[in-house]
Structure 1
Amino acid sequence: MTVSQEHDPNLLSVIIAARNEAGYIGDCLNSLLGQDDEAGDVEVIVVANACTDDTVGAALATRGGIEARGWDLRVIEEPKPGKIHALNTGDQAAKGQFMVYLDADVVCDTDMFAALREVLARDEPLYATGTLKVTEAQTWVTRQYARFWQKLPFVQGGAVGAGLFAVNRPGRERWQAFPDIISDDTYVRLNFAPEERIEVLPKYHWPMVEGFGNLIKVRRRQDDGVAEIVNLYPELVRHDDKKRLRKTDIIGLFLRDPVGFCVYGGVSVAVRLSPARRQWARGR
């Protein structure tokens, strides 16, 4: 499979892979509707893959508002499950010069698209994302975990891209179809050197899963995804500028947030003791 070569130089394509996201995708799409006028021309492509809820209906409910802005909404019902397959299906349909890959449970600030468009409007390959803001969790354990996670050097360094990342067309040419891997966001980010990755100021609001057991499942999958990329694509690791924690860093993190440190550490230990999980599970 190859990515469509025909594209509109003024169009921004938003690709959302969604499986059983009926409770979230309405808020996600409404945040896109709220984008300011500098967002320009936009097409929204929702790939509902193997859904057993009303994700399709929830997405189509926003069609009137999207079309009122002069934008296009396409909802593709894909019976085959899998986020990677959904991303490739969306890529085939997209015609924009700018490609935004968005999780269905993310809510964007009103100036997000304008900011992404501005920084990506260059001839050289570029990657961009917004400023990640973890939404307030409902459970105590996730609140502690999220607070501590946001203090880690990798997150503090910026351009994390979890839940939202974007590339221009020259950047999209860095790879063909998305490979059948666990961590699509890590794979894309590491296709770009640190100086090619940009974090814009507008925030995107990203929820963490709730509860200790669900944190373990998702964290295990994240760790497996990174390990898979290191194994399959060692040449990409040279672009990893993630700061390694020194002993002094660990002590400092503990002193600043001992409760969060213990919760995060407890999840980390439990991950090492849990079995591997290949399939995607948000653990809602």
Structure 2
Amino acid sequence: MDLNGISVILPAHQEADRIGPCLRALRDQRLVPGVSHQIVVVANGCTDATAQLARDALPELTTAGWRVVVMETAVGNKIAALNMGDATATGGMRIYLDADVVVGPDMIVALHAALSGMGARYAGAKLTVPPARSLLSRAYARFWQRLPFVATGVTGAGLFAMNAEGRARWDQFPQIISDDGFARLNFAPGERSRVEIPYSWPITEGFFRLIRVRRRQDAGTAQLADLYPDLHRNASGDRPSMRGMLRIGLTDPAGFVVYAAVTVAVRLRRPSQGWDRGR
């Protein structure tokens, strides 16, 4: 393993409509001199053209300086895909990226700088949500992005990274709901940093899908607290206070109403067993 090398682990399930922009953003990155750069795409449970589109992007990515591996598995499971990607990765620094995320310019250089040095380190970036088609989703996203955990914190949603020493804290990802939450909680707040490079992360469209996603998010948080109580001490500041939400709500009442309605509905509707992207 090249401890200073960078491997991007990119699990992709039915992402034919989104993986192109994701890979083009990586193609256009400024790379770190003298460092190996690898992308591992794991198309899991895909019946669309996700894997083929990743292979089609290979020549341009290779010309840009990336070594690319495209893997396929019939199992549509993100955790299994993450573990397959990790087993193939050659770089000590790992960037875990959702296939519907588009990173901003100089993201790779900035993450490399944040992760360099002694000690275990974890890094995220500045999450931005592109305008949704649904007015409700747009209002929800506008309010959610202003919550301190998202506005100034290191969420890990759709993008998180760590150095080799940090990744050594666990072996394989466990079969849990929240892979990003598990990774983040393996690091104390003082070990996390945020680079102020934006990345685009789409919000779920529509009220009822927002409820399903939010319920799954809350279930993931509860599962981590139950299974990993020792890690849960690192969750300080993850949840907004009611006073803080009301303060933001005074400046965005429509966003507050939608966010609050989703929060209440999450507690009333039956859990969904499916998977939905976004927050």
Q: What TM-score do you get using the length of structure 1 for normalisation?
A: 0.93
The answer for unaligned runs of 5 or more in structure 2 is none
Per-residue CA shift, 1:123-173, capped at 9, x if unaligned? Answer: 311100111111111111111000000111221231111000001110001
Distance 1:159 1:43 in 2: 24
More deviation, 29-38/192-201: 29-38
**Aligned twin of 1:117:** 112
Three-state SS of the structure 1 residue aligned to 2:186 is coil
1:187 aligns with 2:182: yes
**Change in 2 beyond 3 A, CA 1:98/1:243:** closer
Is 1:103 the counterpart of 2:135 in the alignment? Answer: no
Contact 2:36/2:91 (CA < 8 Å) preserved in 1? Answer: no
Paired residues, what number? Answer: 277
| Residue number in structure 1 paired with 2:139 | 144
Asked whether the 8 Å contact 2:156–2:180 carries over to 1, the reply is yes
Work out whether residues 41 and 70 of structure 2, in 8 Å CA contact, stay in contact via their aligned partners in 1.
yes
Farther off after superposition, 141-150 or 151-160: 151-160
Q: Are the equivalent residues in 2 in contact too, given 1:154–1:242 (CA < 8 A)?
A: yes
* Residue 272 (1) aligns with residue 267 (2): yes
> What is residue 4 of structure 1 aligned with on the other side?
none
Post-superposition offset of 1:282: 3.0
Asked if structure 1 preserves the Cα contact closer than 8 Å seen for 2:147 and 2:245, the reply is no
One-letter amino acid of the counterpart of residue 96, structure 2: Y
Give the TM-score normalised by structure 2: 0.95
SS for the counterpart of 2:32 is helix
Mean Cα deviation higher: 95-104 or 269-278:
269-278
Residue type of the partner of 2:11? A
User: What residue is the counterpart of 2:149 in the other structure?
Assistant: 154
Query: 1:252: how far off?
Result: 1.4
What is the SS of the residue equivalent to 1:38?
coil
Distance in 2, matches of 1:281 and 1:151, equals 22
Q: Deviation string for 1:222-266 (max 9, x for gaps)?
A: 010000001110111111121654453233122111100110111
Distance 1:64 1:236 in 2: 42
Which residue of the partner structure matches residue 48 of structure 1? Answer: 43
1:31 aligns with 2:14: no
Matches within 5 A, 1:1-284: 7-38=1-32, 40-242=35-237, 245-282=240-277
Aligned Cα root-mean-square deviation (Å): 1.5
Asked if 2 retains the 8 angstrom alpha-carbon contact of 1:230 and 1:237, the reply is yes
Please tell me whether the aligned partners of residues 98 and 159 of structure 2 are also in contact (alpha carbons under 8 angstroms).
Answer: yes
Change over 3 Å in CA distance of 1:37–1:245 after alignment to 2: closer
Runs (4+) of structure 1 exceeding 4 A deviation are 243-247
**What SS does structure 1 have at the residue aligned with 2:124?**
strand
Residue by residue, what CA displacement relative to the aligned partner does 1:181-200 show, whole Å, maximum 9, x if unpaired?
Answer: 00000010000000100101
Residue type at the aligned position of 2:219: D
CA contact (8 A) 1:182 1:278 kept: no
